[in-house]
Structure 1
């Protein structure tokens, strides 16, 4: 797979793009040459797991190619999401609007793809567009104006995935991260309309649960011991919602499905596996290679499990989780390198915006957790790096508070397209040129998906440059307040600390201001409606010909 990508890069020689103009663009001044846009987004990639941000994993599990983007352009040190959940985050990113405005607040909700979004507006104004990889909004990109699309089914599979196209559904053999890379570079090199600027939406499944590395990386971190967060054994004192979640690595992770633990010494059968179809997709050869990679480690665990304490087993599970999670990221980083190498080899670097981000952050053992959802820093934050040599100075660092609703207006302004007034995000173009002295000083967040997997209660909140205030409101009425300068790991809920009474009062007023600014409906509407869910069509219903026997 990797050899195919390399040969594709070497073989591709592209001519200079000639960019068409559009009458719709006459309202604002046009750049001399409209940029191509490559938007690379992974799923559940924690900022801590990107070595450009430094930290305790930078040397143990580096991401040199993602770091190249930061080095060539800008690293955002205060990048956040509106809702730390896959589908809602994607909808916010595409539309530049919060979920209560774009109509997508929780996974499984139906989304109106015809509303203004940056891929549609780019295509309307002379761009050729595509999406390849994970989609996870509706089953297909209905309403979106992509000239070409190849997407994974729902969450997608790591091995031999189902691919959905306009023609139907088919299984293709290979490792999904590599396949997304190959398909993306092939589209740029062979399939796109080269008379137009292009926009590629490249969405990786990795490193989403259940963290299955590529065959070449299954043993990558076999002998690495990762540092354990100080709050791995958090007791959640003073944080009611945190105490009720079910996303703890050593209590809630599936021993088979998530941690690849086997049933005994010499055995290859996984323990409890809530989605056995994923492992079943491996070919016999792939399965043999997989079992060999894990056999010694699993045999050691099985031989010692009876004598280990609960704490020792919890620490073993943490190491297994980290080994697999970070190994899946290695393939993503290699993919980014392939894209950057291709652009350089074909003289496309200077006029191409390349973005790398994740749909949200993720817990890597902090508070004992995996997954996301909470407004705590590890899942609220997301990595964001961007290069655009024609307009962004290399080595730029932005500390201002940015959010994923800002991507759409930024891309549109760089492309010379008027930003729809309904978009709630802010263009970062002036911020990136150092000319914006009136940037936002606080962020609004709202999580809606409860009751649901992992039992994270609905909550909303505000964060500024030092403080955070959250309100958990469904089946509870609990407020939490944190002084992030003194308590960066959010262990001490200071909501009742009299020293912060004025700040808490100020932030409660700021929540009301932001809710008015973003036109958030009264809470009673959410509670009364209880987010009525409408069933989405199935693959079999959409593509019956793909399932004929």
Structure 2
């Protein structure tokens, strides 16, 4: 009897152990599967890339300067039509993307005298790293301080972290190294080398691939320097904007076709010039009262010549970006990584390609406010889909974390739109995006302003040393040529939008007085890099490329 009981107990014990082991193995398998299913993420950001230059968005340069690899991402993923920047300038936009917060919260308001990004604060790459992702950064950083949250990084270290197109200096994991070649190709080389070493590991990866191109001074790769040499590229419909009704705002800037300097125009410097005299000659055209007009050209002919030189160089640098995106896509295809890799393609803001007679960004106007944003993620994002929700760059961080299933205690002002990637409706989503630009007078003399952009209207208040309000009905006037602020038919719209704007300023805790806003513009937060033995001309030389 005792033997029978003992046998039964032994059987029960073995059964329990077997079930326990089975459960443990199942849990381990489930954890492993979950780990493997966490998506890889490649976040691609080209500096000053704009929707007008991507043929998936716009036909202006279709058949002339197509972007087949960017278009492929849109065809195989989702194209977003209303992703908006909260402060249209390089460094502050990058800071907002990293932190999920507005400039007044993350402390990085402007490039000029903007100081360094506070690297001690939370950023989404740090959260990915803590959550088991392998992380890397390649290309442009441009925030002054050293990146945190990356297992490896290699970013542009020269010219105040602006970098150079040719033979650039990079900061590789804390050490400066000089490289030979063209920056767009080099940055992709570093990224692919890292993927070869890390992409087949069990851990998922997050890679930030951030190109310097197509930022000024728009230097193409050698093979693309004469791509459209004998061709006149099309002009935007607003090229000859006379700024009627906007004389003190759009009509009072240093970013029109008249402000390209000789270096922008790739003019040959006289051999007998050197030092400060050489720099002054090269930078002629950047100041008011200086206009580069080749001998024998009329003012209008010279204006068109400046545009043609600029737009050809700009688009040629994008040609290289598109080529290199293709290299990344090929690598994913060839190594079985396409299905489980989410790719994001974006910019730090939009850019003017002669629109309103401008180059550069900064304004709340559509061309600089609206960011390209394309996501490909097979199995989650429907191929060829489109999204028209109002999304801000502060939403990127919470969304990427959400897609990766990463939780954080960090409270962000941005919100996740991950459901939109699955084609689902965003419940209780915003009906307006708040915008605030601070930098003045450098660079380009754009008045500080704040405002709101809804799905139909743009309302802005320019406040530094003027007091101008502007209203645009983007449905009736998509080119934003008619300021309707004093139109009696829009009086109720103005009243409603001002109330909504005030609500957003309170919501985001940016409801300061105009005096306090002006103090931010006037404040010198410090240079982005320490100045060691540089002359005033050296600093001006660097700033001319911003």
Whether TM-score is above 0.5 comes out as yes
1:139: how far off?
A: 4.2
TM-aligned CA distance change 1:45 to 1:473, over 3 Å: same
Structure 1 position 411 matched with structure 2 position 400: yes
Q: In the alignment, which residue of structure 2 is the partner of 1:364?
A: 353
What's the secondary structure of 2:282's corresponding residue? coil
* Match among 134, 153, 164 for residue 157 of structure 1: 164
Q: In the alignment, which residue of structure 1 is the partner of 2:481?
A: 491
* Match among 491, 506, 521 for residue 516 of structure 1: 506
Q: In the alignment, which residue of structure 1 is the partner of 2:13?
A: none
Partner deviation per Cα, 1:319-373 (whole Å, 9 max, x = no partner): 1111110000000000100001100100001111111111111000011111000
* Match among 245, 251, 262 for residue 243 of structure 1: 251
**Residues 96 and 425, structure 1, Cα contact 8 Å, conserved in 2:** yes
Q: Give distance in 1, aligned partners of 2:519 and 2:318.
A: 41
* Match among 307, 329, 347 for residue 318 of structure 1: 307
Report the more deviating stretch, 160-169 or 203-212.
Answer: 160-169
Structure 1 position 273 matched with structure 2 position 259: no
Partner deviation per Cα, 1:94-149 (whole Å, 9 max, x = no partner): 111111111111113222223221100000000111111110012422xx121111
Q: Give distance in 1, aligned partners of 2:34 and 2:453.
A: 36
Q: In the alignment, which residue of structure 2 is the partner of 1:527?
A: 518
Q: In the alignment, which residue of structure 2 is the partner of 1:352?
A: 341
TM-aligned CA distance change 1:421 to 1:513, over 3 Å: farther
What's the secondary structure of 2:349's corresponding residue? coil
What's the secondary structure of 1:457's corresponding residue? coil
**Residues 263 and 270, structure 1, Cα contact 8 Å, conserved in 2:** no
Structure 1 position 340 matched with structure 2 position 329: yes
Partner deviation per Cα, 1:450-502 (whole Å, 9 max, x = no partner): 12110101001001111110000101111011111121111111110001000
Q: In the alignment, which residue of structure 2 is the partner of 1:477?
A: 467
Partner deviation per Cα, 1:223-261 (whole Å, 9 max, x = no partner): 332111232222222111112210112x1111x221113
Could you list the runs of 5+ residues in structure 2 that have no partner in the other structure? 1-26, 285-291, 534-546
TM-aligned CA distance change 1:516 to 1:421, over 3 Å: farther
**Residues 85 and 435, structure 2, Cα contact 8 Å, conserved in 1:** yes
TM-score, L = length of structure 2? 0.84
Q: In the alignment, which residue of structure 1 is the partner of 2:260?
A: 253
CA RMSD of aligned residues (A): 2.5
Q: In the alignment, which residue of structure 2 is the partner of 1:112?
A: 118
Q: In the alignment, which residue of structure 2 is the partner of 1:128?
A: 134
TM-aligned CA distance change 1:465 to 1:30, over 3 Å: farther
**Residues 88 and 104, structure 1, Cα contact 8 Å, conserved in 2:** yes
* Match among 348, 363, 366 for residue 374 of structure 1: 363
What's the secondary structure of 1:353's corresponding residue? strand
The number of residue pairs the alignment matches comes to 483
Q: In the alignment, which residue of structure 2 is the partner of 1:394?
A: 383
TM-aligned CA distance change 1:421 to 1:500, over 3 Å: farther
Q: In the alignment, which residue of structure 1 is the partner of 2:452?
A: 462
TM-aligned CA distance change 1:56 to 1:125, over 3 Å: same
1:404: how far off?
A: 1.0
TM-aligned CA distance change 1:495 to 1:407, over 3 Å: same
Partner deviation per Cα, 1:159-180 (whole Å, 9 max, x = no partner): 0001112342222110000000
Q: In the alignment, which residue of structure 1 is the partner of 2:3?
A: none
Structure 1 position 178 matched with structure 2 position 185: yes
Q: Give distance in 2, aligned partners of 1:367 and 1:354.
A: 32
**Residues 89 and 359, structure 1, Cα contact 8 Å, conserved in 2:** yes
* Match among 44, 48, 53 for residue 49 of structure 1: 53
* Match among 49, 69, 72 for residue 73 of structure 2: 69
1:222: how far off?
A: 1.4
**Residues 78 and 401, structure 1, Cα contact 8 Å, conserved in 2:** yes
